[in-house]
Structure 1
Amino acid sequence: MTETVSKRSKGAKGVGLRSERGPVLAAVMLSTGLVALDSTIIATAVPSIVRDLGGFTQFPWLFSIYLLTQAVTTPLYGKFADVLGRKPVMFFGIAVFLLGSVLCGAAWSMPVLIAARAIQGIGAGAIQPMSMTMIGDLYTVEERARVQGYVASVWAIASVVGPTLGGVFSEYLDWRWIFFVNLPLGAIAAWTLARKFPERVERQAHRIDYTGAALLTIGCSLLILGLLEGGVTWGWASPASLAIFAVAVVLLAVFVFVERKAAEPILPLWVFQHRVLNSGNLVALIVGAVMMGLSSYLPTYAQGVLGFGALAAGFALAALTVGWPISASLSGRVYLRIGFRDTALIGSGVIIVGSVVAAVLGEHSWLGLAAVSAFILGIGLGLLSSPTVVAVQSTVGWDKRGVVTATNMFCRSLGSAVGAAMFGAIANATLANEESLYQATHNVFTALVAVSALAVAAILLMPRHTDQLRTRGAEPRPE
């Protein structure tokens, strides 16, 4: 249906295209870095923002709305990338992200800043899955784990540098530069991709599934909104919460019916009828939940229980993002020898070990032990996540890689929202019973062990051998 130079080379085996991969990878990492930085850089700037704009009670929406719009638009971009090509979708994402950045920097009130953050999230929803899809186009199965290790390192750097930069800009310049700094970096990334990423797409007439896109976006928006704000803005059993979830379920049920009839569904249902894809998406869901549980409550434990400052707590958590790129870059050697599934099983075992270490942390434990648990979890997540993403991409051709990659990224975002809701409910219920903050974090880490164990069941859905993935997954069963 569609053809690109990157597809034809099957991993850039041609000399000419291989010479272009370095600049393209740098541009992809830069684009990903913008999304990663804006997920963390705003945290330390909140006091300055509230002092200028007011709206202290509204500032949590600066984080929630960004996650929400990023998550719900991701599946749509995957489909458009398979129809229109990667470059137009990536350019759209960068342009919208930079527009949102300008509006954030120029915001004159908290509601305007929240709306601008929503626009940023819409752009970020295209950048992240397109980055992973373009890597899948340009690099072979053997090379992808190493390259994904590089991309994972971007998130590692952002998690440490982001809050520090936010504090520096807020204290010595102005918090608005947090957003304006995106403009030259985004322009460099777009310029590099325009010059160095060759893509030819055979244009054909397509019927855009607008009804399905609207149902999916609104239904997922309500579902994630309910998960993010349940127990925070409103009670779980409140009329507002029940109404939101009820409408979300109805809209998603109608979406399934519409997709069965659509000539070109925005999210083909065969994505959920394929063993490797189901396994990879379930793993992504669990990875998102585990990341949310650790990143939210390990700093709380370090500060509120052990009494350390924000900097020390941040470095303890940073051990997670050190371990992840190390294991992700090495996982390729492992899965080429023993297969995707067995590599992911090893990763899930390591994650369980890391979760157990976190669960046995005491009220007076050494902070280094918390960092060790984060590092072990990072090693496990790299061995679990990278092989499953590569397996998902390897089951399909170029014309389906965008939608399966975007669906996997969406599942990770959904997992983060589910994790935020679940772990938040556990912590709040513990504190409501007048128990200590230590007991609340301990209960969260114990739940983390149970969630990590679910990854084993998800992985067992996947075929054992690499050759099975390549043959059985060559063409998914059409709807």
Structure 2
Amino acid sequence: MALDAHARTGDPRQEHVPGGVLVSIGALLLGMLLAALDQTIVSTALPTIVSDLGGMEHLSWVVTAYLLASTAATPLWGKLGDQYGRKKLFQIAIVIFLVGSALCGMAQDMAQLIAFRAVQGLGGGGLMVLSMAIVGDIVAPRDRGRYQGLFGAVFGATSVLGPLLGGLFTEHLSWRWVFYVNLPVGVVALAVIAAVLRIPRKATEHVIDYLGTFLIAAVATCLVLVASLGGTTWAWGSPQIVGLAVLGVLLVVAFVAVERRAAEPVLPLKLFRIRTFTLSAVISFIVGFAMFGAMTYLPTFLQVVQGVSPTLSGVHMLPMVVGMLLSSTVSGQIVSRTGRWKVFPVAGTAVTTIGLLLLHRLDEGSSTAEMSTVFFVFGLGLGLVMQVLVLIVQNAVSYEDLGVATSGATFFRSIGASFGVAVFGTVFAGRLGDELADAFRGVTLPAGVSADALEADPRGIAALPAALRPPVLHAYATSITDVFLYAAPVALAGFVLAWFLKEEPLRGSVTAPDVTETLASNPVERSSYDEVCRALSLLGTREGRREIYRTITARAGYDLLPVASWMLLRIRRYGSVEPSRLAERSTVPLPVILDGTRQIEERGLARREGLDLVLTDEGWTVARRLAGAREESLAELLGDWWGPDRPTDLTRLVRELGGELCGSDREQPHDERPVTRPA
């Protein structure tokens, strides 16, 4: 019975959450929705955008500009929010994002669209990091897991809905509505945040590493420029490409020098002395390289080569997203429960490599069933490795580096995504020109038809004579699928590196990360405190509390019901409890509380003073041992983070969670007050 009985009876009452908090959470979810949706909604619109604005060779930059800007801006948004208040910064991020969206919708050429996508990315980075951080400001630790789960659900849903919505808007309205749709949603979020959100002001002073942030963004930009412009706009040996490569090397040297002296480096160099972090960073780069490169060019393959509509191209992409979400969730749960993780990065990189080779085999004659199977296999491989990489990085670092290491893992995936999209674009543009030239060699073309025209606007394929269409479609198919062949050795390198990961036992507090950390294309930066709080928030749930009270009762050496231990610790905290009022103000049913009451009275651990229960001397002794066992249980979950020199914020979190495991203040009867008793 006890807390187990409570679970079986299924109490319909829910813990009270203030309405303003719920409305604020809804507005934050809208902000996350905007940022997450814009990472996927554009992909199915890209072929139409290119047909309208031209510049197929620069298609990759529509995605890359957003990724680079949001990735570079994320650490700044996080620390500026700590210093100047997150509400104000969140509103500014929404405004920047909406301005960028409106400008993208009005773009008249590819250069404008790329520039405006960078503006949109600056705001998107803020929406991502601040929405997650504000949850920690307005929600108690024991509830954060539940609300962060909502953010994960929204993120997962946008991964599925993004390509579909992008196709629907493109086909039935205009590709410009892919950006305009953000405006009404953003205005609603802005209005609700202004009216309802109340955040306690807890300014935290930071020394912001502006120079380090600028330098790492500049390094990434140089890499991407070399990858995207080399061999297309400029020859590989041209002064421009060589100059960019030399500049990139110099910027790396400058970045290392700056980070060694920075008080709060954006990416601490000491992390690279940890083998697990370094290998995970490289594998994360490879995963981002493969994932976003494929997601950018598969819609072009589907719409141009297969001839499906933009909407149906989104439907065709679903098996990849489903495979990714499925394997990501399952692998994370298995690792959290078994503590064994090395098999997943090894298997994930292997399956990703196989998926890329299978993608290379697709052509204009491939059936829907064949494509869906290949897409699912590719997504399955990505999902197997993505979530586990974040988890093992968290397990490998000290507490002080937990937050920055977590965001560092996704940072490298973001850089890999930017680089991958650019490389895929270069390979595609170079191959397409050669393939179209081969297709038209020795053929007399109708007036107005040329390889350059078809390269710039694939809609021209429909106007070709029937005899010319098959070789042109084959040229497009070969150019796109060759991209996956070039990416396969990169994924294979990840497979080789995964074997060098050293499997170490997982800390008890390391659990499967949020979907937002798994799928986000830019780092979701949270502090070390936030990361531990997220992991331990499970203890505050109904099931978590029931399990922890079983554990601490056994550890203390008693055979009490879990509900009896809970009541003893609650009386120790508040001085007394009235069982009937406790049932009214908590989610534990009255019959279960009465079972606990009967047991602690029969054993002489508590006595009645009117309607209230107070502890006897023996009750105080038992409650002290239970409290010690509770702290030992929490410390065991934290592993070596809970050492003699543990940080004060970690001590505060354990005390806060310990108090909440007794029952939060909002469950406290009016006549109960926290009391001081001998420790």
Q: TM-score, normalised by structure 1?
A: 0.76
Counterparts in 2 of 1:329 and 1:107: CA distance versus 1, 3 Å:
same
Q: Provide the rounded CA distance (Å) in 1 between the counterparts of 2:273 and 2:145.
A: 23
The 5 A counterparts of 1:163-312 are 163-170=167-174, 177-189=177-189, 202-303=202-303, 306=306, 308=308, 310-312=310-312
Q: Does 1:450 align with 2:489?
A: yes
What does 1:250-399 align with in structure 2 at a 5 Å threshold? 250-303=250-303, 306=306, 308=308, 310-339=310-339, 340-361=341-362, 364-393=365-394
Secondary structure at 2:263's aligned position in 1?
A: coil
Q: In structure 1, how many angstroms separate the alpha carbons of the residues matched to 2:345 and 2:247?
A: 36
Pair 1:277–1:223, CA change in 2 (3 A): same
1:403 corresponding residue in structure 2: 404
**Residues 55-109 of structure 1: per-residue CA shift (max 9 Å, x gap):** 7689745444333322332344455466667656544432321232344456677
Equivalent residue, structure 1, for 2:446: none
Q: Which residue of 2 aligns with 1:35?
A: 35
> 1:467 aligned to 2:507?
yes
Count of aligned positions: 459
Separation in structure 1 between the aligned mates of residue 337 and residue 136 of structure 2, nearest angstrom: 20
Q: In structure 2, do the counterparts of structure 1 residues 347 and 211 end up closer, same or farther at CA, with 3 Å as the change threshold?
A: closer
C-alpha spacing 1:21/1:203, structure 2 compared with 1 (3 Å): closer
Distance 1:464 1:267, change over 3 A: closer
* Cα 1:150/1:353, change in 2 over 3 Å: farther
CA distance in 2, matches of 1:274, 1:27: 39
Is the contact made by 2:165 and 2:311 (CA closer than 8 Å) also made in structure 1?
no
Check whether the contact 2:223–2:419 (CA below 8 A) recurs between aligned residues. no
Q: Which moved more, 1:200-209 or 1:361-370?
A: 200-209
1:68-83 equivalent positions in 2, closer than 5 A: 68-80=68-80
Conservation of the 8 A alpha-carbon contact between 1:344 and 1:388? yes
Q: Report the CA distance between 1:143 and its aligned residue.
A: 10
What residue identity is the alignment partner of 2:334? V
Question: Structure 1 residues 302 and 180 mapped into 2: Cα distance closer, same or farther (>3 Å)?
Answer: closer
Given that 1:72 and 1:217 are in contact with CA atoms closer than 8 Å, whether structure 2 keeps it comes out as yes
Shift in alpha-carbon separation, 1:380–1:110, aligned structure 2, 3 A: closer
Q: 1:380 offset after TM fit, Å? A: 2.7
Which range is displaced more, 409-418 or 81-90?
A: 81-90
Answer whether contact 2:40 2:158 (CA < 8 A) is retained: no
Partner of 1:417: 418
Give me the whole-angstrom Cα distance separating, in 1, the residues matched to 2:330 and 2:111. Answer: 45
SS in 2 for 1:355: helix
Further displaced range: 444-453 or 241-250: 444-453
Q: Which residue of 1 aligns with 2:159?
A: 155
The equivalent residue for 1:94 is: 94
* Contact 1:293–1:423, Cα closer than 8 Å, also in 2: yes
Identify if the C-alpha distance between structure 1 residues 150 and 206 changes in structure 2 by more than 3 Å, giving closer, same or farther: closer
2:266 is paired with a residue whose SS is coil
Q: Which residue of 2 aligns with 1:122?
A: 122
**Are the counterparts in 1 of residues 348 and 381 from structure 2 also a CA contact under 8 Å?**
yes
CA distance 1:387–1:88, shift in 2 (3 Å): farther
Letter in 2 for 1:242: V
SS at match of 2:366: coil
Residue 378 of structure 1 and its aligned partner are, at CA, apart by 1.8
Cα 1:201–1:297 shift into 2, 3 Å: same
Of the structure 1 ranges 329-338 and 453-462, higher mean CA displacement relative to structure 2 is found in 453-462
Deviation at 1:372, TM superposition (A): 1.1
Shift, 1:310, TM fit: 4.7
Distance in 2, matches of 1:424 and 1:140, equals 40
Kept in 2, the 8 Å contact 1:145–1:386? The answer is no
The answer for the alignment partner of 1:67 in structure 2 is 67
* Counterpart code for 2:349: S
Alpha-carbon displacement from aligned partner over 1:279-320 (angstroms, at most 9, x marks no partner): 442232122111134224434444555555555444322321
**SS state of the match for residue 507, structure 2?**
helix
CA RMSD of aligned residues (A): 4.4
Residues 205 and 26 of structure 1: CA distance in aligned 2, closer, same or farther (over 3 Å): closer
Distance in 1, Cα, partners of 2:135 & 2:496 = 28
- The residue identity in structure 1 corresponding to 2:163 is S
Structure 1 146/34 Cα, relative in aligned 2: closer, same or farther at 3 Å? closer
What secondary structure does 1:467 align onto?
coil
Asked whether the 8 Å contact 2:72–2:213 carries over to 1, the reply is no
* Matched letter for residue 128 of structure 2: Q
CA distance in 1, matches of 2:431, 2:176: 38
Q: Does the CA contact (< 8 Å) of 1:71 and 1:413 recur in 2? A: yes
Q: One-letter code of the match for 1:65?
A: A
Counterpart contact for 1:148–1:329, Cα < 8 Å: no
Cα drift, residue 423 of structure 1 = 3.4
Question: 2:492 is aligned with what amino acid?
Answer: A
CA distance in 2, matches of 1:18, 1:332: 32
Question: CA offsets per residue over residues 385-408 of structure 1, 9 Å max, x none?
Answer: 123234445667997565334433
Q: Answer 1 or 2: which has greater helix percent.
A: 1
Residue 200 and residue 256 in structure 1: after superposition, are their counterparts in 2 closer, same or farther (change >3 A)?
farther
Whole-angstrom CA distance in 2 between matches of 1:105 and 1:441:
27
Given the superposition, is the C-alpha separation of residues 93 and 370 from structure 1 closer, same or farther in structure 2, using an over 3 Å criterion?
A: same
d(CA) in 1 for partners of 2:49, 2:362: 34
Which amino acid in the other structure matches residue 466 of structure 1? Answer: L
Task: Name stretches of at least 5 consecutive residues in structure 1 with no aligned partner.
Answer: 1-13
Higher relative contact order (CA 8 A, sep 6+): 1
Contact 2:57 2:429 survives alignment (8 Å): no
Matching of residues 107-146 of structure 1 within 5 Å: 113-130=113-130
Distance in 1 between the 2:182 and 2:365 partners?
A: 41
| 2:234 counterpart SS class | coil
Per-residue CA distance 1:12-70 (angstroms, 9 max, x = gap): xx96779999767655553333234334545638868987xx77689745444333322
Structure 1 match to 2:535? none
Question: Any gaps of 5 or more consecutive residues in structure 2?
Answer: 1-13, 440-473, 511-637, 644-679
Question: Residues 199 and 102 of structure 1: is their aligned pair in 2 closer, same or farther, counting only changes over 3 Å?
Answer: same
TM-score (norm 2): 0.56
Q: Distance in 2 between matches of 1:108 and 1:439?
A: 30
Alpha-carbon spacing, 1:156–1:402, altered in 2? closer, same or farther (3 Å):
farther
Instruction: State the identity as a percent.
Output: 31
Aligned to 1:4: none
Match of 2:530 in 1: none
